[in-house]
Amino acid sequence: MINTKPQNISILGATGSIGTSTLDVISRNRDRFNVFALTAHSQIEKLFSQCVEFNPHYAVVDNENDANRLHDMLRNKNVSTEVLYGEKSLSYVASHQDVDMVMAAIVGAAGLLPTLDAARAGKKILLANKETLVVAGDLFMRTVCQSGASVLPVDSEHNAIFQSLPENVRLTMASGKWQTENYQSSGIASLILTASGGPFLDTDIDTFANITPQMALKHPNWSMGRKISIDSATMMNKGLEVIEACHLFSIPADSIEVVIHPQSIIHSMVRYCDGSVLAQMGNPDMRTPIAYCLGLPERINAGVSNLDLFTTDALCFRKPQDERFPCLRLAFEALRLGYDATCILNAANEIAVDNFLNGKIRFTDIAVVIEKTMSLCQLSDDIFNIEQLLQKDKIARNIAQQIIIDM
Ligand code: NAD
Ligand code: MG
């Protein structure tokens, strides 16, 4: 073990799918990590059990009532975890001087500010919250570069690409110091993002309007949170990941290929100029990329079963069709528009997905709401700071909500 001192970690979004998997990996490697803080928005009982098991210094919840309730539950069990609440407390545990690494696993734009604060404080950031890069990619990567923070991609595709890059490239990228011009000298030709295609890859497009939330939440390969599961069904998830990759790897959109690979065994690839394509493979289990980020530079036990090549289905690859996945086209369009177009795209998508999950709009309306919001919401011609982006996020949400009311 290279790091003899256990690393202090704050897990933002501890009760979610990524948060739970992170704690699972930590529980298999107790000598390497101290859980410093756990945060959750709801699911207080689940957070309580996690506090009992991992005994963090801090737990952060949404409001005072929940904080008091959790405090009493913990004291009854003689657990000394201090309970805090609110946005400022999320930032506090993300940037605390005793914290070595931060798992950024809050869902949606709500994860943006604490993740940015972790970057400002120079932390090692294990980045699952893709919305940080989609909403504020330039700003975030600039902050990482200036503060000496590092960012390690948890999203399985970006993690696979990261693992398939040469070591010197990986280290420069993690510190935000990578320049687009360096690609050619490193022999990298393009990045290939794989997508499962979600549950409706072969469904008749004419029946898409009848898709229910229950149908859309059933992902064929991955077990994930509700929002990202819907994003996978529309392939907006891949759109967000293309934007994520552009910022993370500092690469133009036209050097990114998207390939549908329904088996989700290859998690993404890097194409080199000599004809080589390097891939990272494994069973679809987020504990693998999480363990890779937690353990770097070492490999640690993730509890993931071995990939059995003899029972694995034949690996297939298909081109995504625009008419089946309009959200993917919209994401590329937002990237081309630049400035805060991806912030508008993300806000409209969050509102649309939420309304779909609540039975207010149809599956096919998700792309309609996003496209209309993008056409109605004016682009800024420069981005100076995070407040400006948050303001645009708010405006876009209001416009999307109004479009839904008028539908
Ligand atoms: P999830 O819905 O399962 O969990 C979200 C977590 O964030 C929960 O702990 C919740 O309490 C917290 N949260 C929700 N709203 C909040 C708010 N307003 N303020 C503070 N905390 C809040 O989500 P997930 O699937 O674990 O995804 C987390 C992030 O990781 C997302 O950005 C997602 O896109 C990304 N991601 C997830 C996966 C996956 O397999 N689940 C894969 C790649 C990337
Ligand atoms: Mg992914």
Digit-coded pLDDT (tens) for 16-45: 999 999 999 999 999 999 999 999 999 999
The CA dihedral of 18, 125, 284, 275, to the nearest 10 degrees, is 160
Q: What's the domain count of the chain?
A: 1
Mean pLDDT of 50-54: 98
Cβ of 41 closer than 6 Å to ligand 1, yes or no, is yes
Cβ of 61 closer than 6 Å to ligand 1, yes or no, is no
Confidence of residue 2 (pLDDT cuts 50, 70, 90): low
CA 78 – ligand 2 centroid, Å: 39
CA distance 99 to 38: 12
Cβ of 225 closer than 6 Å to ligand 1, yes or no, is yes
Statement: residue 207 has pLDDT above 90: yes
Cβ of 324 closer than 6 Å to ligand 1, yes or no, is no
Give pLDDT, residue 381.
Answer: 84
Mean pLDDT of 226-240: 96
Residue 25 maps to a domain: yes
Q: Please indicate whether residue 366 or residue 170 has the higher confidence score (pLDDT).
A: 366
CA 177 – ligand 2 centroid, Å: 23
Mean pLDDT of 313-318: 95
Residue 79 maps to a domain: yes
Contacts of 212 (CB under 8 A, 6+ apart): 363
For the whole model, what pTM was predicted?
0.95
Give pLDDT, residue 177.
Answer: 80
CA 19 – ligand 1 centroid, Å: 8
Q: 49-76: b or e for each residue (b if 16 or more CB lie within 10 Å)?
A: ebbeebebbbbbbbeeebbebbbebbee
Mean pLDDT of 34-58: 98
Query: Which of 25, 107, 221, 353 maximizes ligand 1 atoms within 8 Å of its Cβ, making it the mutation to test the pocket?
Result: 107
CA distance 51 to 47: 6
Residue 27 maps to a domain: yes
Mean pLDDT of 51-68: 98
Residue 164 maps to a domain: no
Pick the atom of ligand 1 nearest to 18's CA: 26
Cβ of 86 closer than 6 Å to ligand 1, yes or no, is no
Terminal CA-CA length for the chain: 58
Confidence of residue 383 (pLDDT cuts 50, 70, 90): confident
Tens of pLDDT, residues 82-119: 999 999 999 999 999 999 999 999 998 899 999 999 99
Residue 256 maps to a domain: no
Q: Please indicate whether residue 20 or residue 166 has the higher confidence score (pLDDT).
A: 20
Cβ of 293 closer than 6 Å to ligand 1, yes or no, is no
Statement: residue 1 has pLDDT above 80: no
Cβ of 344 closer than 6 Å to ligand 1, yes or no, is no
Residue 393 maps to a domain: no
Give pLDDT, residue 3.
Answer: 60
Cβ of 128 closer than 6 Å to ligand 1, yes or no, is yes
Tens of pLDDT, residues 240-295: 999 999 999 999 999 999 999 999 999 999 999 999 999 999 999 999 999 999 99
Confidence of residue 184 (pLDDT cuts 50, 70, 90): confident
Confidence of residue 168 (pLDDT cuts 50, 70, 90): confident
CA 151 – ligand 2 centroid, Å: 16
Residue 140 maps to a domain: yes
Pick the atom of ligand 1 nearest to 14's CA: 9
* DSSP states of 276-290: -EEEEE--S-THHHH
Cβ of 66 closer than 6 Å to ligand 1, yes or no, is no
Q: 349-376: b or e for each residue (b if 16 or more CB lie within 10 Å)?
A: bbbbbbbbbeeebbbebbbbbbbbbbee
Give pLDDT, residue 172.
Answer: 85
Confidence of residue 161 (pLDDT cuts 50, 70, 90): very high
CA 183 – ligand 1 centroid, Å: 32
* CATH classification of the domain holding 48: 3.40.50.720
CA distance 182 to 166: 12
Q: Please indicate whether residue 382 or residue 230 has the higher confidence score (pLDDT).
A: 230
Query: Which of 11, 12, 17 maximizes ligand 1 atoms within 8 Å of its Cβ, making it the mutation to test the pocket?
Result: 17
Residue 138 maps to a domain: yes
CA 34 – ligand 2 centroid, Å: 27
CA distance 45 to 175: 37
Cβ of 12 closer than 6 Å to ligand 1, yes or no, is no
Cβ of 155 closer than 6 Å to ligand 1, yes or no, is yes
Residue range of the domain that includes 60: 7-154
CA distance 41 to 60: 8
Ion ligand 2: protein residues whose beta carbon lies under 5 Å = 155-157
> Which residue has its alpha carbon closest to ligand 1 atom 4?
16
Mean pLDDT of 207-218: 96
